[in-house]
Each structure stands twice: as structure tokens, then as C-alpha cells.
Amino acid sequence: MKTRAAAANILHQVLNQGQSLSTLLPRYQQEVAAKDRALLQELCFGTLRWYSRLDAMTKPLLEKPLKGKYRVVHSLILVGIYQLLYTRIPAHAALAETVNACKILKAEPFKGMVNGVLRNVQRQQDELTAKVDALPQLRLAHPNWLFKRIQHAYPEQWQDILTANNQHPPMWIRVNQSRHTPEQYLALLQQDGLDATPDTQAHSALRLARPVDVATLPGFDQGHSSVQDAAAQMAAQLLDAQAGERVLDACAAPGGKTAHILERQPQLAQLVAVDMDGERLKRVHQNLDRIGLHATVLQGDAAQPADWWQGDAFDRILLDAPCSATGVIRRHPDIKWLRRPEDIAQLAQLQAQILDALWQQLKPGGTLLYATCSILPDENSEQIKAFLSRTPDAQHMALHSGDTPEQPGWQLLPGAEQRDGFYYAKLSKLA
């Protein structure tokens, strides 16, 4: 009962107030029993994954929309339908717990209505799902604007992408190769009864057969491994920092790529990690401290480097640019409903400003790796094409055979080889 009420409150704040799931969930998990925290996460993630599909099934069953302070009851109904359609929770338990949650939400007069809607979903499930699933954007549960953008950008792959966005993501770990080879760490995992598979391209990446608590990973507290998707692990690998170089990790929080750069090359002259968000920079310090690494960590706006950097120019820059995060929807399903169409143009403008600003901080002959966790061309290949056209001393560096100045970069799509969606483009500065 309390878990369903907490889930309804979280969904209400995400969908109606624009708050992020990653901010809300940890707070509410502290308010429910420890044994119910995984269930709360499942209810929130699952309902958000399938929100528009569940919502479309709900509308014909309501006499009138729930508004104002009772809008939270609408979220509770969605949580109930999610349990009935997508979980193994017995239907009688899902119904009873969801209906009784009205009391905690101070919405007891709606108990009969909630019960009626959920029972109608049970009775009319085939009819409701057939009607909703006739529209692919509802069947695949994406907002219309995002559905159309992905369909336009990927006419052959859009269904695979949208399907992957609704899947449970695997747990990838990054082996600290200054402590173990991936083969050695894989053997340690197997000794503990944990199966894992190496990635075909990310040299430090192992995909666990099933997610586990990080405390069960061998040597995790001593920095022998970290949790990071294989696609994200390609950043440090492609940057390929060398001994004696000065490196900038821009927009660095929470610090996974910062740590990986240092794990791969401990003999740097200096690694500077900068981010605007002071709270998220705490995570950078925590990650570095756990692994036993050191970087110069600064708070600042990557678009205004003169405000935080007066030192020498950098040999290499990793720009993990602010983006729509449309490549990591399976890990953050609220992205689908928090993003707006106008955000993309605004983000593209910010990315261009940061690119232009940081280019001035790169040495002649230096390398800049541009990265996003987006799959939208506006933020990726189109962004780099525009930068190359306006920057005479920028030279394109191919990452694969199809990576050309006319179609620059390497686009990883969500779900391909079970990785997240990511984009990389590599540029050098003419001497």
C-alpha cells in the first residue's frame, strides 16, 4: 500500500511537475521498508517506460479527467495497470494494494473508482490493448514528437531503437586495468558465481549476466571495478591520452570517464575535470577517492573557460556535451516525458558554444573528442559538420570506415550489442 502510494507520488511529480526520477526515487526509497525498495523502483521505471500506452488505456475508462490535487490518483491508476499487465504480482494483490493506497494519498473517496477502472482493464484487456496498439507511437510508448524524429533519422532502424528504449538495461562494469586484466577479473567474478561477457570493442567492459549489488563485485570498494556502460567506456579509449599530456574532461560529472582516463594512463602531466553542477562534482570526488586517483576538479561553465582556467592549453580534450540523453532512455525512462521538442535546438546551440570555446583551449596538434549520449543528428553529426565548416583549423579524424567529413562520427544505437546509445567524433587541431 505504502509502496504504491510512493510510486504514485513520484510519477505525479515527474509527469506533472517536471522533476527527475533520479532525484525523487532515492528520497522515497528511504520512506518505504528496505524489502520494498526494489519494488518501488520497478513500479516507477516500468510505469514511466509504458506511460503513454497505459494512459491511453485509462482514458476511455474514466468519466472525466482527474485534475488538481487529485491528479495523483491518475498516476496511482497507471501504477495499478502496470502491475496487472507487466508484472507477476498476483492480480488480487495488485488490486488491493493499489486501491488501499488511496488512503495514504488522502483520496479515499476515489477507492471505488480506482477499483472499477482496474477491474475493467482486467475484463477488457484484449480490446483495450488492440485499440491502443494500432498506433505505433502508443504501442512503443514514445511521445509523438520524439517518435517522428527517430523515425525520420533512422527509417530502417526506428522500431529496433524504440523497442530497445523500453527494455531493462544490462549491468556493465569497467575493469580497472591498472589492477587486473579483464580476463583476470572475469575469473574473479566466476569464482564468486557471477557470469559475465566481454564487449567486442570496449577493452575494459564486462557485461554481467544479471545485475548485482556493487558490494558483491570483487574489490569494488578498493576501486578494482566500476559500473559504466560499454558505450560510455569507449570515451577514454578513443581519447587515448598519452603519458606527459595535459588533459581536460569537460562536463565531467559524475566522473566515470575521468577515472577511466586515469586508469588507462596514470602518467598524465595533469587531468582537469570541470562541471557546472557543484552537487554532481561531489560524485566526481567520491569516484576518484574510491579508486585512489587524483585530478584537478573545478566547478565552472565549459562555455566560459576563461572563468576557471588560466593555465596552459590542453593536449587532449574530452567534451561529453550536455545533450537530450535520448540514447540512454532505457536507463532513464522519464527522459521521454521530460524532454520537449524545443529542447533540442537549445541544446544544439549550447553544444556549439562549448565546442567553440573549448577549441581555443586546445593546443595546435591537439585532439578533441566530442561525445553525447544522444541519438539525434542535430546534436551529433550535424553539430560536427557545422563545426568543421566554420573552424578552419579543425581536421576530421575517422573512427571507422564510414566516418567522413560529410557524415562525421560514430553513432552507437541503443540496444546494439546491448550497449547504450552514444555518439563520438574525433577532431584534431592543425599545427
d(CA 117, CA 239): 54
With beta carbons less than 8 A apart as the criterion, state whether 410 and 399 touch: yes
Q: Which DSSP helix (H) or strand (E) runs through 4? A: helix 2-17
With beta carbons less than 8 A apart as the criterion, state whether 297 and 284 touch: yes
Residue 373 annotated in active site: yes
In 3-state terms, what secondary structure has residue 364? Answer: strand
The active-site residue, picked from 44, 251, 323, 373, is: 373
Question: Which DSSP string do the residues of 8-67 spell out, in sequence order?
Answer: HHHHHHHHHH---HHHHHHHHHTTS-GGGHHHHHHHHHHHHHTHHHHHHHHGGG-SS---
Peptide bond into 254 cis (omega under 30): yes
209: cell is 549476466
Strand partners, 173: 206, 227
Residue type, 200: T
In 3-state terms, what secondary structure has residue 135? Answer: coil
Secondary structure in 3-state letters for 60-97: HHCCCCCCHHHHHHHHHHHHHHHHHHHCCCCHHHHHHH
Secondary structure in 3-state letters for 291-318: HCCCCEEEECCCCCHHHCCCCCCEEEEE
CA 158-164-165 angle, to 5 degrees, is 90
Sign of CA dihedral 66, 67, 68, 72: positive
Number of residues assigned to the chain = 431
Tell me how crowded residue 248 is: count the other CB atoms within 10 A of its CB: 28
Catalytic positions are 373
